[in-house]
């Protein structure tokens, strides 16, 4: 079985591709290596993947292109490079779509990037899955779809009709688009609502990376909402374990689905959505304390108001995920942050 991983040079895509290669699964990666954050970090991740593929004698190939680039996406689904030459992994039997324009705050500055990548681009992926009879599509959604909801923990059974950012709206749209393809074309599809993923090789625009870099440089950190934030921080290894288990168990129709009282979590079609979180919401100040402990320094804190499009708290109900996969994310913030700091020091030599 070969797997197409879009966003393979990204944070989660890199870790998932690494895990798949380690277990002997051939991988085709699709990534545009855009400069939303340092492309050098993305290239370093790809170099690791190529090294791992060679060490395990498992095929890995990368196609560089955008999700909205029809030629690049079609090449990936045919198992060919952009010149039409066959790639060793062959055509993918399953797809994990992790490529997207990320970031709530950036969606205020450049909304067109989200419309192109997250809507038009995802449409290309759905069309590829449809026409190539893919056995299972797993795609990234986000905890941000819960928007203005304040009933915690967030459950897949709740309505997600009130997003507070374009990024969140694009992810809700992805869920609707995937469900439609599942219904019309019998495409098994599973959406995963990620809750604040962190860990080694993480994104430089995320709080852990920003805080660590600033603290090591003796600079102040920006703490929004005067520190009164709570997040369900989820360690990357737990995310990948969940991802692999979901990938191996395609979505199926819910035989008990009631069309007179529809449940947003399931469907008569082969489509499911799951929360992936640590189910242990952590105050932002406690998260900062974990970074301080790992670095052996105290942060200079600059307290600021809440940013537009943000929410004060997230918390995941992961009972459905555990029932489906037999796994529940469980890495503590203290352990996960310490692992990130150790990686950061080694990678950047500080």
As annotated, the active-site residues are 167
Backbone angles phi, psi at 36, to 5 degrees: -55, -40
Angle at 132 between CA 187 and CA 46, to 5 degrees: 100
- The backbone region for 158, taken as left when phi is positive above 0, alpha when psi lies in -120 to 50, beta otherwise, is beta
DSSP letters, 58-91, are --EEEEE--TT-HHHHHHHHHTB-TTSPBPTT-S
**DSSP state for residue 305 in the 8-state scheme:** P
Q: What is the sign, positive or negative, of the torsion defined by CA atoms of 144, 200, 139, 271?
A: negative
* Helical spans, DSSP H, in 186-206: none
Q: How far apart are CA 151 and CA 164, in angstroms?
A: 16
Place of tokens 């688009």: 177
């Amino acid at each position: 079985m070969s797997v197409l991983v879009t966003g393979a040079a990204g944070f989660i895509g890199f870790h998932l591709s690494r895990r798949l290669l380690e277990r002997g699964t051939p991988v085709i990666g699709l990534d545009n290596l855009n400069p939303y954050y340092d492309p050098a970090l993305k290239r370093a991740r790809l170099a690791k993947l190529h090294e791992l593929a060679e060490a395990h004698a498992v095929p890995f190939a990368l196609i560089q292109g955008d999700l909205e680039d029809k030629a690049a996406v079609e090449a990936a689904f045919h198992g060919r490079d952009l010149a039409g030459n066959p790639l060793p992994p062959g055509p993918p039997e399953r797809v994990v779509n992790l490529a997207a324009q990320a970031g709530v705050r950036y969606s205020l500055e450049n909304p067109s990037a989200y419309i192109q990548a997250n809507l038009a681009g995802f449409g290309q992926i759905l069309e590829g899955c449809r026409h190539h009879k893919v056995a299972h599509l797993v795609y990234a959604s986000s905890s941000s779809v819960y928007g203005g909801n304040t009933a915690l923990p967030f459950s897949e059974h709740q309505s997600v009709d009130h997003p507070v950012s374009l990024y969140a709206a694009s992810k809700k749209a992805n869920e609707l688009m995937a469900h439609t393809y599942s219904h019309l074309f019998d495409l098994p599809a599973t959406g995963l609502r990620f809750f604040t993923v962190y860990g080694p090789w993480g994104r430089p625009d995320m709080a852990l990376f920003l805080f660590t870099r600033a603290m090591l440089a003796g600079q102040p950190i920006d703490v929004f909402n005067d520190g009164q934030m709570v997040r369900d921080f989820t360690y990357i290894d737990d995310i990948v374990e969940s991802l692999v288990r979901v990938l191996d168990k395609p979505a199926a129709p819910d035989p008990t689905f009631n069309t007179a009282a529809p449940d947003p979590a399931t469907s008569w079609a082969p489509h499911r959505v799951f929360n992936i979180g640590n189910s242990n919401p952590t105050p932002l100040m406690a998260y900062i304390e974990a970074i301080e402990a790992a670095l052996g320094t105290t942060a200079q804190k600059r307290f600021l108001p809440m940013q537009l499009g943000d929410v004060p708290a997230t918390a995941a109900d992961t009972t459905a995920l555990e029932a489906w996969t037999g796994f529940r994310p469980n890495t503590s913030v203290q352990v996960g942050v310490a692992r990130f700091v150790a990686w950061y020091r080694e990678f950047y030599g500080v």
